């Protein structure tokens, strides 16, 4: 299928979707709104960001106590394992990890896949499972975990933090982001992984979280952000809560090459604003369409770019 693709921007200089987390933000229509003109949209200073980053600090050497719950090698050209590992605050993170069938003779690139805001689906949503399959068929390892409050981690009667409970929201975001950083810690324990070739791919809420993860991490070789933007829209970067969750504060701190993939009918101005905040090397692709970009229709450009960065 030919997908209309209308804009390429930026350069790459080198080759080589509810519950606790950012999904809370995108459930509220106001968060997706265009920002008022008098809001501060300038990223906070390095000094202020260092204070923010300190709230996200954690002990990466703490035991993961990882377990493999099961393994599936049938009818696919790779192996899927269901795994679980420790995060902070006594949270256990369930995930799928894939690797090539024969992983004994070489190490492989890996992709940390962050799903969107999808209620009880989590890692079992079609978007996540399709991308897991597509990426695994490239000969890469993939890790996709249930985000905090999603999938197996969604609980009956859970209360959603909101801007009216800013400390709870901040702490929920920190938990969610740290879960993904612990996922990176887990990847680095796997002998199948080339530690110098780990990419992140996040869509929608996963893209928002991906900006925060990548802005705090030095262990990523490439970052792909799809259908996301400068969020929360109606909140300034210097807002007491916005300091900790605004993508515009984290984007300039990303050190890996970045690819943004957006849709023309999906808050275009916010997509442009986030892209402009990213440092080089970066590239942006615009597709004609809405918020959902079906993985099996919109993967060619992403795969080509990832191959450039990881292979």
pLDDT tens for each residue of 54-102: 999 999 999 999 999 999 999 999 999 999 999 999 999 999 999 999 8
Structure-token pair, residue 204: 């929608």
Banded model confidence at residue 35, pLDDT cuts 50, 70, 90? low
- Judged against a pLDDT cut of 50, whether residue 21 lies above it is answered with no
Q: CA-CA distances (angstroms) from residue 202 to 103, 145, 271, 277?
A: 25, 12, 14, 17
- Judged against a pLDDT cut of 50, whether residue 14 lies above it is answered with no
As assigned by CATH, the class of the 5-310 domain is alpha beta
- Judged against a pLDDT cut of 90, whether residue 16 lies above it is answered with no
Q: What is the structure's pLDDT at 4? A: 53
Structure-token pair, residue 180: 């993904």
- Dihedrals phi, psi of 200, to nearest 5 degrees: -120, 135
Q: What is the structure's pLDDT at 22? A: 43
Domain boundaries defined on the chain: 5-310
Residues contacting residue 274 through CB under 8 Å, at least 6 positions apart: 211, 225, 228, 229, 230, 247, 248, 251, 260
Helix axes 166-187, 205-216, angle to 10 degrees: 70
- HSE of 39 in the Cβ direction (CA atoms, 13 Å)? 20
Per-residue pLDDT tens digits for 185-211: 999 999 999 999 999 999 999 999 999
Q: Residues 147, 205: contact at Cβ < 8 Å?
A: yes
pTM for the whole structure: 0.90
Q: Residues 68, 48: contact at Cβ < 8 Å?
A: no
Banded model confidence at residue 33, pLDDT cuts 50, 70, 90? low
Of the listed ranges 17-26, 179-188, 220-229, 240-249, the least confidently predicted one is 17-26
């Amino acid at each position: 299928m030919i997908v209309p693709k209308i804009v390429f921007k930026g350069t790459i200089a080198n080759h080589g979707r509810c519950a606790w987390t950012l999904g809370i933000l995108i459930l509220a229509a106001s968060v997706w709104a265009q920002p008022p003109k008098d809001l501060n949209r300038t990223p906070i200073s390095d000094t202020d960001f260092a204070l923010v980053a300190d709230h996200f600090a954690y002990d990466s050497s703490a035991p993961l106590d990882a377990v493999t719950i099961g393994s599936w090698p049938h009818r696919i050209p790779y192996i899927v394992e269901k795994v679980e590992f420790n995060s902070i605050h006594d949270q256990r993170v369930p995930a799928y990890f894939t690797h090539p069938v024969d992983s004994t003779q070489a190490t492989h690139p890996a992709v940390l896949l962050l799903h969107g805001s999808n209620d009880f689906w989590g890692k079992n949503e079609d978007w996540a499972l399709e991308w897991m399959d597509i990426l695994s068929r490239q000969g890469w390892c993939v890790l996709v975990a249930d985000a905090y409050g999603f999938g197996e981690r969604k609980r009956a009667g859970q209360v959603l933090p909101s801007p009216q409970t800013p400390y709870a929201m901040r702490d929920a975001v920190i938990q969610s982001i740290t879960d993904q950083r612990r996922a990176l810690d887990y990847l680095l324990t796997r002998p199948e992984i080339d530690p110098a070739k780990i990419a992140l791919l996040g869509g929608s809420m996963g893209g928002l979280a991906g900006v925060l993860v990548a802005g705090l991490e030095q262990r990523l070789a490439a970052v792909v952000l799809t259908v996301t933007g400068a969020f929360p829209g109606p909140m300034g970067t210097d807002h007491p809560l916005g300091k900790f969750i605004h993508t515009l504060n984290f984007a300039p701190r990303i050190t890996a090459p970045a690819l943004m993939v957006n849709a023309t009918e999906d808050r275009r101005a916010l997509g442009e604003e986030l892209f402009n905040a990213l440092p080089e090397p970066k590239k942006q692709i615009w597709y004609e369409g809405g918020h959902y970009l079906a993985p099996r229709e919109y993967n060619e450009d992403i795969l080509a770019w990832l191959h450039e960065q990881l292979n």
